Chains A and B, each alone.
Chain A
Amino acid sequence: MAKKLNLSERKIEKARKLAESVTSEIQKYIDLHTTVTVERASLRLLGADGADKNGVPVPNLIADSLKDKCGLGLSRYYLNALVKSAVSPQELNKKIAEGLDISKIDMGDPKAIEKKASELISALDKRINSNVEHRNRKLAQYKENEKKPWIYVIVATGNIYEDVKQAKAAALQGADIIAVIRTTAQSLLDYVPYGATTEGFGGTYATQENFRIMRKALDEVSETEKRYIRLVNYCSGLCMPEIAAMGALERLDMMLNDSMYGILFRDINMYRTFTDQFFSRMINASAEIIINTGEDNYLTTSDAVEKAHTVLASQFLNESFAKRAGMKEELMGLGHAFEMNPDIKNGFLLEFAQALMAREIFEKHPLKYMPPTKFMTGDIFKGYAMNTLFNFVSKATGQSIELLGMLTEAIHTPYLQDRALAIKNAMYVHNNMADFLNEIEFKKDGIIRKRAAQVLDETVDMLAAVKKTGLFKAIESGMFADVKRAPDAGKGLDGVFEKEDGYYNPVETYLKKRLGLTEKAEA
């Protein structure tokens, strides 16, 4: 795509460098630590699954009985139990669910454990590869999948079977991507519930069984619609890496996955979040799952004009963190949003400038563009008009993933008809101005070019300031989203562990090797 904003490449480069040095400080911390959910995610990828009669998941049962061993890695104990009892993971899971405490089993021959590990890792590798291949084959098969932006809608009934109906209808109407919104407060649970669920609040529980049910339904419509329908869930909160693990196993295609969202918007401890995001991103990168970062949320608590640079700064940070986790740019769905007060004169021009700026700076990234939400009101008619302008900017600036605005955003989670109207609006705009972007240029000193340049300047300044204080302090002082969080505050800090001498995690080793992170670490 020809660039139109004449942004300074030197400044973009400078911002990237600054972001890299900011994240390198955090990465030092990450590399020395693990968390209880990183351990549980590793167990899941080795085969731990199921739940006891009270609904406590097997990975949690294991972690609870071995809590003081997290610093050594929990995989060893699971593998040892498999070797000693000479049963399959399924059978062992059942025993654990029935009360077997594997911490009581004597540690056996390390060689046998390693052998078991390589056997399970190779099964894992096969499963991930087959998921990746399936997706890529379908995407290559269907022409329809080449259209952009991809239309992304959410379902959120609370009942996975009702969600399936809504999702299938949306796919028939033209949606390319279905996100199943999670139930309120799942992000604060330190476990992933088990099994199919029919009750949720503002969303549906993310469980592996629910993933499977929705995946199957979308695969069915993909075949009839001749379009691969992508499935999204939320890889955030206290179980970020475990959700990533489940997604990799069940062929999710995208995950909301931000390096700071949990800290800012869910008050999760920052050490926990940073460590978890790294591991979860390695999993997502391995399974070629596109991540969606959460910068759009900043603009719900701070002003979209005043704080536009915080979005860009955060995109650079998210990009850098993702790179450190071995992720390709093609998987980095950096987020931004159309969240200006609709009363602002020329607000459309400013939105246009910012959206195009993101496009020009992050060329290969599948940018995720979010619709107006904060300024949506009960006036659904005005809201529908705002969504049309949003669709316009989205198409005219070449966004990749377009989360459609709902006219009833201020009222309830979407009704079937709300989603259909949104899709109709987007398809109308996308088609009606298909080649608009190729037709236009911008005035040299016009509002649009100037705005983009200004936001980039402010971003460089901000990143320099973050570098100076360090990211922990920057968050503590409220530099992102106007939200202040202290390093030792927030939920989940008690689940963070320093890696001890002899830390063993064959899943981590596998992921790093797969992503080419091992040589780099040694070099």
Chain B
Amino acid sequence: MKIIKAYGDTLNDGAIQLSFTLPVPFGGKAKEAARIFVEKMGFHKADIVHAEPLSGEFTFFVAYGKTDNAVDYDEVEYTEAVDKSMSMDEVNAFIKQNFKRKIVIVGACTGFDAHTVGIDAIMNMKGYNHHFGLERYPMIEAMNMGSQVPNEKLIEQAVKINADAILVSQVVTQKDAHIKNLTNFVELLEAEKIRDRFIIVAGGPRISNKLAVEIGFDAGFGAGTYAEDVATFIVKRMYEKITEKR
């Protein structure tokens, strides 16, 4: 068992900073309301260190508090999609050695989402932050379909070019647009009974591996991902699949 709490300046002091707005006019009563509100969230020693009116109807607060809530770290379950990523060269060598052919990856930012920069960072030649994208990998045939691509179109293309893996990017998350769209993607594959043909990977700033796996993807990647992370996951999973079959 490893019980942990937030750390301020003493182990397990539970110190946390908060900032929020309440829909009440500024004043002493507002501050007291804010303090009580913070205590109700499970903090003791709630301290309203700053309060200011945002208009006649709203007040902004900065607060500090200490909490008794704690987490048993040993009980937390989470697995990364990849523990340690291979480099571009290692990925290529791995493909050559194990599959003896180029692997095919198609990707897009789907639904009405128009953000291309994330999927481009992973797929385009140039890559991101001096990490080359999948198009640059000699043993990978990468096809980036851009943004605002309907899920149906992406799947159609994947079938057509006989892709090994499909990448789906989702950046807009308002009203859970990403969850609905990713779920729809998996459902479409299942309806056509081709879910098992592909390795499917989701990505975007608010995507975690856990979320993606829950929705039915093989993996999910969040902010700060590079092409080699995704490539490592895909080739390893492909390898697992063929070794399982044997």
- Interface: A265 (CB within 8 A): yes
Interface residues of A in 151-184 (CB under 8 A from B): 165, 168-169, 172-173, 184
CA of A410 to CA of B222, assembled, Å: 13
- Fill in one digit per residue for A239-280: 1 if any B CB lies within 8 Å of its CB, else 0: 000000000000000000000000001110000000000000
CA of A374 to CA of B117, assembled, Å: 9
| Given A173-B55, A415-B21: A185 touches B112 (CB 8 Å cut-off) | yes
| Given A169-B58, A202-B172, A417-B20: A377 touches B112 (CB 8 Å cut-off) | no
CA of A378 to CA of B19, assembled, Å: 15
- Interface: A420 (CB within 8 A): yes
Interface residues of B in 190-230 (CB under 8 A from A): 205, 223
Contact (Cβ within 8 A) B223 A417: no
Contact (Cβ within 8 A) B54 A416: yes
| Given A169-B58, A184-B172, A412-B174: A265 touches B21 (CB 8 Å cut-off) | no
Contact (Cβ within 8 A) A172 B20: no
- Interface: A118 (CB within 8 A): no
Question: Chain B binding site: helix, strand, loop or mixed by DSSP?
Answer: loop
Contact (Cβ within 8 A) B223 A378: yes
B55 touches which one: A168, A265, A267, A301 (CB < 8 A)? Answer: A168
Contacting residues, chain B, for A377 (C-beta < 8 A): 223
A265 touches which one: B58, B114, B172 (CB < 8 A)? Answer: B114
CA of A1 to CA of B23, assembled, Å: 45
- Interface: A197 (CB within 8 A): no
Contacting residues, chain A, for B116 (C-beta < 8 A): 301
Contact (Cβ within 8 A) A165 B223: no
Shortest B46–chain A CB gap in Å is 18
- Interface: A201 (CB within 8 A): yes
- Interface: A300 (CB within 8 A): yes
Closest A residue to B115 by beta carbon equals A300
Contacting residues, chain A, for B98 (C-beta < 8 A): none
- Interface: B140 (CB within 8 A): no
Contact (Cβ within 8 A) B174 A202: yes
Interface residues of A in 411-448 (CB under 8 A from B): 412-413, 415-417, 420
CA of A378 to CA of B223, assembled, Å: 9
- Interface: B177 (CB within 8 A): yes
- Interface: B160 (CB within 8 A): no
Closest B residue to A410 by beta carbon equals B205
Interface residues of B in 109-133 (CB under 8 A from A): 112, 114, 116-117, 120
A417 touches which one: B19, B56, B148 (CB < 8 A)? Answer: B19
Interface residues of B in 26-63 (CB under 8 A from A): 52, 54-58, 60
Shortest A92–chain B CB gap in Å is 36
- Fill in one digit per residue for B134-152: 1 if any A CB lies within 8 Å of its CB, else 0: 0000000000000010000
CA of A201 to CA of B175, assembled, Å: 8
Contact (Cβ within 8 A) B117 A300: yes
Contact (Cβ within 8 A) A267 B223: no
Contacting residues, chain A, for B114 (C-beta < 8 A): 265-266
Contacting residues, chain B, for A185 (C-beta < 8 A): 112
Contact (Cβ within 8 A) B148 A267: yes
CA of A140 to CA of B117, assembled, Å: 44
CA of A201 to CA of B178, assembled, Å: 13
CA of A416 to CA of B205, assembled, Å: 23
Closest A residue to B120 by beta carbon equals A301
Contact (Cβ within 8 A) B148 A184: no
Contact (Cβ within 8 A) A416 B172: no
Shortest A157–chain B CB gap in Å is 11
CA of A185 to CA of B113, assembled, Å: 9
Contacting residues, chain A, for B175 (C-beta < 8 A): 201
Contacting residues, chain B, for A417 (C-beta < 8 A): 19-21, 54, 60
Contacting residues, chain A, for B174 (C-beta < 8 A): 201-202, 412-413
Contacting residues, chain B, for A416 (C-beta < 8 A): 21, 54, 58, 60
| Given A201-B174, A202-B174, A410-B205: A184 touches B54 (CB 8 Å cut-off) | no
Shortest A275–chain B CB gap in Å is 23
Contacting residues, chain B, for A202 (C-beta < 8 A): 172, 174
Shortest B168–chain A CB gap in Å is 18
CA of A301 to CA of B126, assembled, Å: 12
CA of A172 to CA of B54, assembled, Å: 8
Closest A residue to B224 by beta carbon equals A377
Contact (Cβ within 8 A) A420 B112: no
Shortest A369–chain B CB gap in Å is 21
Shortest A223–chain B CB gap in Å is 15
A420 touches which one: B20, B57, B60 (CB < 8 A)? Answer: B60
Shortest B150–chain A CB gap in Å is 13
Contacting residues, chain B, for A374 (C-beta < 8 A): 117
| Given A185-B112, A300-B117, A416-B21: A172 touches B55 (CB 8 Å cut-off) | yes
Contact (Cβ within 8 A) A165 B21: no
Contact (Cβ within 8 A) B148 A301: no
CA of A202 to CA of B111, assembled, Å: 15
Shortest A371–chain B CB gap in Å is 17
Closest A residue to B205 by beta carbon equals A410
Closest A residue to B56 by beta carbon equals A172
Contacting residues, chain B, for A169 (C-beta < 8 A): 54-55, 57-58
CA of A300 to CA of B118, assembled, Å: 11
Shortest B14–chain A CB gap in Å is 21
CA of A173 to CA of B112, assembled, Å: 35
Shortest A411–chain B CB gap in Å is 9
Closest B residue to A424 by beta carbon equals B52
Contacting residues, chain A, for B58 (C-beta < 8 A): 169, 416
Contacting residues, chain B, for A173 (C-beta < 8 A): 54-55
CA of A202 to CA of B112, assembled, Å: 12
Contacting residues, chain A, for B148 (C-beta < 8 A): 267
Using a CB–CB distance below 8 Å, which chain A residues touch chain B? 165, 168-169, 172-173, 184-185, 201-202, 265-267, 300-301, 374, 377-378, 410, 412-413, 415-417, 420
Can you report 23 residue pairs joining A to B where beta carbons are below 8 Å apart? A165-B57, A168-B55, A169-B54, A169-B55, A169-B58, A172-B55, A173-B54, A173-B55, A185-B112, A201-B175, A202-B172, A266-B114, A301-B116, A301-B120, A377-B223, A378-B205, A416-B21, A416-B60, A417-B19, A417-B20, A417-B21, A417-B60, A420-B60
Supplied contacts A172-B54, A267-B148, 12 more A-B pairs, CB within 8 Å: A169-B55, A169-B57, A169-B58, A172-B55, A173-B55, A202-B172, A266-B114, A300-B117, A412-B174, A416-B58, A416-B60, A417-B20
Using a CB–CB distance below 8 Å, which chain B residues touch chain A? 19-21, 52, 54-58, 60, 112, 114, 116-117, 120, 148, 172, 174-175, 177, 205, 223
The 6 A-B pairs at the shortest CB distance, nearest first, are namely A169-B55, A417-B21, A417-B60, A420-B54, A172-B55, A185-B112
